[in-house]
């Protein structure tokens, strides 16, 4: 049984079909990449899988259970976690606190315990702080721990986003353009991190424009165009697929990208 | 040295010191009365700091909960035979329950819609208080029983006390208690979720937080604060009119909250102090009270978007660095 | 039956006023996404200014025109001094700014004018028409036709004139509008002026019936907002239907249930609309983008 199963998924916005009739599976520990030009529906797909948009058609399953349109926090409890293409940082909180919020599911306690700051509340605080610090170290941001997120660079925020998602202890992680807007060094760090996370057995659904990376680490690639699946297969198959080269890489700047596809 | 102390404790220390030394500067015992009013408003404002400042949810109807608290203290002693203090608790329970029932649908709304829905809720409460004159005395208001603080203390210690002085210390302790709870919340698992909802509701959901529930928690807590403040005002003044539940009062409370800096308890109290003391200082310009209030609201929100205290702190740290 | 007709007449009359307030909301909301809580003050200013200019000896038409002009100027000032400098502020900040403006204008009216209740004579006398047992004031007809004229006039302005289309373009996409050379600052000022003028017109039309005083603005703003939301925020046609519906609901509540709680009707409508269909009758459903 697949970890994540998508069947016939589709959604419309005011008469425009953003995603249609999508089928695919993600097995435990697998890296599956979604590629496609801007506006192809990749982010919309993520939003449907993670419960932010309610799909008009089709189903999403986790471990075979139908989880279509389940609230995002219910999905997080089932081990599905994600990052955002357009940052959704907690801007007025420190980097450390951002990741601490990610630990919510393991630290949640009755409200009155927190209001009165009973010893158990303080203890949870300490434990969460340690865990969050470890995660920050993993993304090389321990130095920024006590800086407010709004004062951090875009690249740093992207990594905090990943650390926050990891704090949920996901079994499957949805990464929406994790390296977009990052400089070369940051991109490399993020690449390495993704590979590492996958190594630990977390399944990854990845949207990424860096084709070198996609081709290198994916078990499986799905190409989208106009919300529909154009092709699916191993990186090698996809990079040879003429429809993909035509649609995704398009005419302009196609050569450079075609080189990247190998 | 001060920086070693955790911010939470530091805030409480500063607050305690201010409450303790303020009376030394009072030229007359009339100022104990103003101090008490400041504390009572501060209590409602601390609740709104949790709702608006922490969780980022606006309410233009919290005066309604103050009204419930106030009229609980006005009505329960005569109609139910409850002692005033238990009436205060009853008011808080009713406010909390009402907030809990209406909060779930209302808090699905955002921004302007939430503002208008809470406003409508406050208006409905205020309308009931105005119209049910056989119970509430209508717009003319009604008398309220005494909490009996002064009498009780005089009986215990065989001394002569001024009511306004006793109330000053009682309300001061209540503010400290309210601030302590709000500050506890700030750096706790629950408080963190509330603050994350302020910045991105969606991200908070995706890390597993039941955002609807947490918003409701903040709404209920703030309603209880507002209710207790209303009860205290009724018991202090021994008289109450439906104005306490009016839209204008809701707006005043929100303005106090954001004026000083909605994110911080001390900022909220600073805002409450300013807006409570200012009209008292300007009684000669009574005519201009609304003009002033409106101007302050606009100027602060345009030029100091984060409120007084945070803006001040930023300017100071920038100076310190430069 | 004649009783019901009576409620319909009075409901439509106040409903037309709510529709104009809602239309004022809509104009500003579309141009700037700001919900202007000071909208009701425009109605108050229109009525109060007319009263005082009229009392100073100016004929009623001149007084009304001057009052509308004055209110439009105040609308422009409000935009220039309070809304424009606050661009990019959070929704909470903007709410407080416009409520501040509302309280400020009310306080100002209390000083410049007074705290009394005022009226000026109806345009065509006070002899009511008798229609199927119900009475209809000539001024009510003025209100209804005046509101209709405003709606038709604005419709023509927005769809037939270049400037009107520029406003719509700005509402649609501010940046794109600027790129094609539209002066969006001017459009914003224009929207506030129009919105204020519409509000003031409502005040001029209805004051002979409902009377006016410095503090009528908040209630009107709320009901106008309720109307705008019921119709679907941002939709002028929705504002019209929403306003008339709120007026009718209110009049029938006052007639059949309790006049003490007629104001409650509007709020209950707001709350129910928000819970059941937040997009309103004619609004579009939208999903927040992430
Ligand atoms: N909330 C929304 N409302 C309306 N249209 C939307 C919404 N979200 C996405 N879309 C539309 O869906 C299409 C796919 O967008 P998106 O999923 O962001 O593409 P990608 O991530 O592949 O670049 C686009 O045409 C976009 O405009
Ligand atoms: Mg995308």
* Per-residue pLDDT at A49: 96
Check whether A247 has a pLDDT greater than 90.
no
- The whole-number average pLDDT for the span B8-27 is 94
Domain residues for B311? Answer: 2-321
Q: What is the DSSP letter of C82?
A: I
| pLDDT per residue as tens digits for the range A36-48 | 988 999 999 999 9
Looking at the structure, do residues A187 and A216 belong to the same domain, yes or no? yes
What CATH number is given to the structural domain containing A182? 3.40.50.300
- The whole-number average pLDDT for the span A216-236 is 91
What CATH number is given to the structural domain containing B174? 1.10.3470
Mean pLDDT for chain B overall:
91
The chain A residue lying nearest B53, using CA atoms, is A92
In this structure, what token pair is assigned to residue A234? Answer: 């191993």
Q: Which of A202-216, B146-160, C211-225 has the lowest mean pLDDT?
A: B146-160
Cα–Cα distance for residue pair C242/C246, rounded to 1 Å: 6
Q: Which of A163-177, B271-285, C135-149 has the lowest mean pLDDT?
A: B271-285
Looking at the structure, do residues A32 and A145 belong to the same domain, yes or no? no
* Per-residue pLDDT at A35: 92
| pLDDT per residue as tens digits for the range B91-128 | 999 999 999 999 988 998 888 889 988 998 999 999 99
Looking at the structure, do residues A174 and A202 belong to the same domain, yes or no? yes
* Per-residue pLDDT at C287: 67
Taking each helix axis as running N to C, give the angle between helix C217-231 and helix C236-252, from 0 to 180 degrees, rounded to the nearest 10.
Answer: 120
The Å distance, Cα A226 to ligand 2 centre, comes to 13
Point out the domain boundary residue: A142, A166, A190.
A166
Mutating to test ligand 1, I would choose from A9, A11, A13 the residue with most ligand atoms within 8 A of its C-beta, which is A13
Q: Which residues of chain C have pLDDT under 70?
A: 285-287
* Per-residue pLDDT at B2: 54
The chain B residue lying nearest C108, using CA atoms, is B291
Question: Which residue among C94, C107, C270 sits closest to B294, beta carbon to beta carbon?
Answer: C107
| pLDDT per residue as tens digits for the range B219-251 | 999 999 999 999 999 999 999 999 999 999 999
Point out the domain boundary residue: A166, A186, A206.
A166
Cα–Cα distance for residue pair A84/A90, rounded to 1 Å: 12
* Per-residue pLDDT at B158: 75
Contacts 24+ apart (CB under 8 A), C140-146: C140/C9, C140/C10, C140/C12, C140/C13, C140/C209, C142/C205, C143/C13, C143/C16, C143/C17, C143/C205, C143/C206, C143/C209, C144/C12, C144/C13, C144/C16, C146/C16, C146/C201, C146/C205
User: CB distance from B280 to chain A under 8 Å?
Assistant: no
**String of DSSP letters for B235-265:** HHHTEE-GGGGSHHHHHHHHHHHHHH-TT-H
* Per-residue pLDDT at C178: 87
Using 50, 70 and 90 to split pLDDT, how confident is the model at A262?
A: very low
Please give the tally of structural domains in chain A: 2
| pLDDT per residue as tens digits for the range A116-153 | 999 999 999 999 999 999 999 999 999 999 999 999 99
Check whether A168 has a pLDDT greater than 80.
yes
Domain residues for A46? Answer: 1-79+170-262
Q: Is the CB of A51 under 6 A from ligand 1?
A: no
**Could you tell me the residue ranges of all domains in chain C?**
21-222
Looking at the structure, do residues A155 and A230 belong to the same domain, yes or no? no
Looking at the structure, do residues A137 and A183 belong to the same domain, yes or no? no
* Per-residue pLDDT at A27: 94
The chain A residue lying nearest B216, using CA atoms, is A111
Residues in A touching C290 (Cβ below 8 Å): 43, 47, 52, 84, 86, 88
Residues B111/B84, Cβ–Cβ less than 8 Å: no
Check whether B284 has a pLDDT greater than 80.
no
* Per-residue pLDDT at A253: 46
Q: A29 in the Ramachandran plot: left (φ > 0), alpha (ψ -120 to 50) or beta? A: left
Whether A105 is covered by a domain: the verdict is: yes
Whether A84 is covered by a domain: the verdict is: no
The Å distance, Cα A221 to ligand 1 centre, comes to 21
Whether A85 is covered by a domain: the verdict is: no
- The whole-number average pLDDT for the span B5-20 is 93
Q: A63 in the Ramachandran plot: left (φ > 0), alpha (ψ -120 to 50) or beta? A: left
Give C172 or A103, the one with higher predicted confidence. Answer: A103
* Per-residue pLDDT at B286: 77
Point out the domain boundary residue: A166, A189, A224.
A166
- The whole-number average pLDDT for the span A224-247 is 87
Mutate to test the interface with B, among C92, C101, C250 (most CBs of B within 10 A): C92
Global pTM reads 0.93
* Per-residue pLDDT at A252: 47
Give B311 or B192, the one with higher predicted confidence. Answer: B192
Chains that touch A (3 or more CB pairs under 8 A): B, C
**String of DSSP letters for A124-177:** HHHHHHHHHHHHHHHTT-GGGTTSBGGGS-HHHHHHHHHHHHHTT--SEEEEES
Chains that touch B (3 or more CB pairs under 8 A): A, C
Looking at the structure, do residues A157 and A176 belong to the same domain, yes or no? no
Q: Look-up: residue for tokens 């955790």?
A: B6
């Amino acid at each position: 049984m697949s970890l994540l199963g998508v069947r016939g998924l589709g959604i419309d916005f005011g008469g425009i079909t953003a995603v249609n009739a999508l089928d695919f599976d993600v097995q435990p520990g697998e890296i599956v990449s979604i590629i496609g030009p801007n506006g192809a529906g990749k982010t919309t797909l993520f939003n449907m899988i993670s419960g932010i948009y309610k799909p008009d058609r089709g189903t999403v399953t986790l471990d075979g259970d139908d989880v279509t349109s389940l609230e995002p926090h219910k999905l997080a409890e089932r081990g599905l976690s994600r990052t955002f293409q357009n940052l959704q940082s907690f801007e007025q909180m420190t980097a450390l606190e951002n990741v601490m919020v990610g630990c919510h599911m393991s630290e949640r306690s009755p409200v009155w315990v927190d209001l009165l700051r009973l010893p158990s509340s303080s203890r949870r605080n300490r434990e969460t702080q340690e865990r969050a610090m470890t995660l920050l170290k993993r993304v090389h941001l321990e130095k920024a721990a006590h800086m407010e997120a709004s004062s951090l660079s875009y690249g740093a925020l992207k990594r905090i986003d990943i650390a926050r998602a990891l704090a949920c202890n996901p079994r499957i992680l949805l990464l929406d353009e994790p390296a977009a807007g990052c400089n070369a060094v940051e991109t490399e760090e993020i690449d390495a991190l993704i590979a590492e996370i996958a190594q630990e057995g977390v399944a990854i659904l990845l949207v990424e424009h860096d084709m070198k990376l996609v081709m290198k680490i994916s078990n499986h690639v799905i190409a989208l165009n106009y919300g529909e699946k154009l092709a699916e297969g191993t990186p090698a198959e996809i990079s040879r697929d003429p429809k993909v080269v035509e649609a995704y890489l398009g005419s302009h700047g196609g050569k450079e990208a075609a080189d990247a596809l190998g | 040295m001060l920086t070693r102390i955790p911010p939470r404790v530091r805030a409480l220390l500063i607050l305690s010191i201010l409450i303790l030394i303020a009376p030394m500067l009072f030229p007359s015992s009339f100022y104990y009365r103003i101090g008490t009013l400041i504390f009572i408003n501060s209590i409602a404002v601390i609740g709104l700091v949790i709702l608006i400042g922490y969780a980022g949810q606006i309410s233009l109807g919290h005066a309604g909960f103050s009204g419930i608290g106030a009229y609980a203290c006005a009505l329960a002693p005569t109609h139910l035979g409850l002692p005033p203090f238990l009436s205060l608790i009853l008011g808080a329970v009713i406010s909390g329950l009402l907030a809990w029932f209406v909060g779930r649908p209302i808090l699905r709304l955002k921004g302007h819609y939430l503002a208008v829905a809470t406003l409508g809720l406050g208006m409905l409460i205020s309308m009931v208080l105005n119209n049910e004159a056989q119970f509430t005395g209508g717009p003319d208001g009604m008398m309220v029983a005494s909490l009996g603080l002064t009498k009780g203390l005089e009986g215990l210690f065989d001394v002569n006390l001024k009511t306004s002085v006793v109330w000053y210390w009682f309300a001061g302790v209540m503010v400290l208690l309210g601030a302590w709870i709000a500050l506890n919340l700030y750096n706790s698992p629950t408080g963190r979720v509330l603050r994350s909802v302020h910045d991105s509701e969606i991200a908070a959901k995706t890390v597993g937080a039941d955002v609807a529930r947490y918003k409701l928690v903040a709404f209920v807590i703030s309603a209880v604060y507002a209710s207790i403040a209303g009860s205290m005002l009724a018991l202090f003044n021994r008289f109450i009119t439906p104005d306490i539940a009016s839209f204008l009062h809701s707006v005043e409370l929100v303005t106090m909250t954001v004026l000083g800096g909605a994110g911080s308890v001390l900022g909220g109290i600073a805002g409450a102090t300013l807006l409570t003391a200012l009209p008292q200082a300007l009684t000669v310009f009574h005519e201009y009270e609304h003009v002033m209030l409106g101007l302050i609201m606009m100027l602060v929100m345009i030029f100091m978007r984060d409120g007084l205290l945070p803006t001040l702190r930023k300017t100071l740290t920038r100076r310190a660095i430069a | 039956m004649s009783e019901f007709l009576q409620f319909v007449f009075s409901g439509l009359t106040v409903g037309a006023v709510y529709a104009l307030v809602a239309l004022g909301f809509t104009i500003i909301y579309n141009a700037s996404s700001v919900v202007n809580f000071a909208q009701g003050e425009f109605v108050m200013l229109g009525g109060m200014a007319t009263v005082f200019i009229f009392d100073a000896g100016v004929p009623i038409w001149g007084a009304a025109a001057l009052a509308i002009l004055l209110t439009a100027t105040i609308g422009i000032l409000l935009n220039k001094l309070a809304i424009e400098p606050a661009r990019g502020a959070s929704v909470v900040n903007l709410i407080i700014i416009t409520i501040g403006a509302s309280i400020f204008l009310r306080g100002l009216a209390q000083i410049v004018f007074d705290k009394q209740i005022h009226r000026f004579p109806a345009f065509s006398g006070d002899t009511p028409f008798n229609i199927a047992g119900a009475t209809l004031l000539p001024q009510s007809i003025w209100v209804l036709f005046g509101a209709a004229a405003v709606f038709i006039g604005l419709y023509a302005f927005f769809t037939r004139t270049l400037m009107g289309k520029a406003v719509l373009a700005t509402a649609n996409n501010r940046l794109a509008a600027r790129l094609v050379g539209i002066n969006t600052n001017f459009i914003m000022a224009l929207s506030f002026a129009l919105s204020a003028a519409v509000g003031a017109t409502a005040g001029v039309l209805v004051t002979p019936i409902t009377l006016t005083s410095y503090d009528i603005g908040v209630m009107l703003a709320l009901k106008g907002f309720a109307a705008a939301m019921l119709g679907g925020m941002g939709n002028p046609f929705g504002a019209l239907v929403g306003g008339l519906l709120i007026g009718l609901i209110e009049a029938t509540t006052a007639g059949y249930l309790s006049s003490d709680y007629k104001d409650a009707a509007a709020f209950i409508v707001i709350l129910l609309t928000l819970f059941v269909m937040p997009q309103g009758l004619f609004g579009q459903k939208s999903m927040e983008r992430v």
